[in-house]
Amino acid sequence: MNDHDRAEQGGGAPPVRWTEQATSDGARAGTLVTPRGSVPTPLFMPVATAATVKGVDIGRVAGTGAGMVLANAYHLHLRPGEEIVEAAGGVARFMGWNGPMLTDSGGFQVFSLAKQVKVTEEGAFFRSHLDGRAIAFTPEASMRIQERIGADVAMQLDHVIALPADREAVADAMDRSIRWAERCRIAHQRPDQALFGIVQGGLDPDLRAESAARLQEIGFPGYAVGGLSVGEGPEAMVATLRATVPRLPADRPRYLMGVGQPADIIQAIGTGIDMFDCVLPTRCGRNSLVYTFSGPIRLRNARHARDRRPLEADCPCPACRHGRDYLRHLFLAGEMLGPVLASIHNLTFYQRLVARLREAVVAGRFEAVARGMLDSLLAGEERG
């Protein structure tokens, strides 16, 4: 029995819960309630991998409209170490963030550092990408680390593999993820922290259905869809979500891990997803690509050399106080302010995106608004 179900039987509230406000065309709006505050959903979490959103101070992150951020247990374990984060009062206090937080378990590093990882039934065994020392990430170790880091939501350790892959490999990784989920649930003891399970199964709807059902037998206060955006393409991703999300409990938050192209977020919300995270806003910002509701803009392009328009006239971010010509100049001159401003703009865009979609759900117009956004993004996409 998990924290959510124990709390319900005892008459108390679980540490993290989701309440519904409205639904529209498969999408839903609600509120994620945590010990460190409530956040309207759908929500987008900026990624603070090592307790920092790259290039953006925490006050500016809050200023973008973000209500919740994500950190990574694997990276914080390597440095500064969970004991230092714990001594500072937990990851939110450590980084100066006044709001809810989630920690990824390190499962994605099983995928991203595959050449340095050996996966067994016991867990994932790494060589540190920093100094080569041996790192053992078992479900029990991941829970101990995440409990000490102290985010409001911890994630189970799962086994992520690249797609496409043969069914036997996908089924094996899914089965292992379920067994690890059981061990995580047993090991997780912190009462003020929620543990979410992660649905795996690649692109196979039967495996996804099996994973969702078995996770619900274990019982979690929230459920994530993992193992996507790992090479399968957007159409396959959406098809997998449409087959998976309806099998998740309607009264629990649903989190799509690591997916962040604006068009993907729009379509995923239409399947009933509530939570997102991705590194794209800052990664693209550092590389001079900025997002707008009229499509992406590549600031290094010569067409912007004399363009005095802001990126978006109605955007409140500091980048939009300048013309495109000036922002382009910053990148060409190698000035660090360029990537910083572009990153802040992108983070702001993502918050405005989910806010508009949330308003559309509440108004009962999600499908029409989403279609208009998708058409505008595609029509305005800047090449080169």
How many angstroms separate the first and last alpha carbons of the chain?
A: 53
Please indicate whether residue 131 is annotated as part of the active site. no
CA-wise closest residue to 205 among 230, 241, 159: 241
Encoded tokens for 9:
């039987």
Phi and psi based region of residue 19 (left: phi greater than 0; alpha: psi -120 to 50; beta: remaining): beta
Encoded tokens for 263:
């068009």
Please indicate whether residue 104 is annotated as part of the active site. yes
d(C-alpha 181, C-alpha 219), whole Å:
10
Encoded tokens for 327:
């922002």
d(C-alpha 277, C-alpha 255), whole Å:
9
Cα 234 to the center of its chain, rounded Å: 16
Burial 284-308 (b: 16+ CB within 10 A, else e): bbbebbbbbbeebbbbeeeebeebe
Q: Spot the catalytic one: 3, 152, 264, 277.
A: 277
Q: Spot the catalytic one: 3, 104, 158, 264.
A: 104
The catalytic residue positions are 104, 277
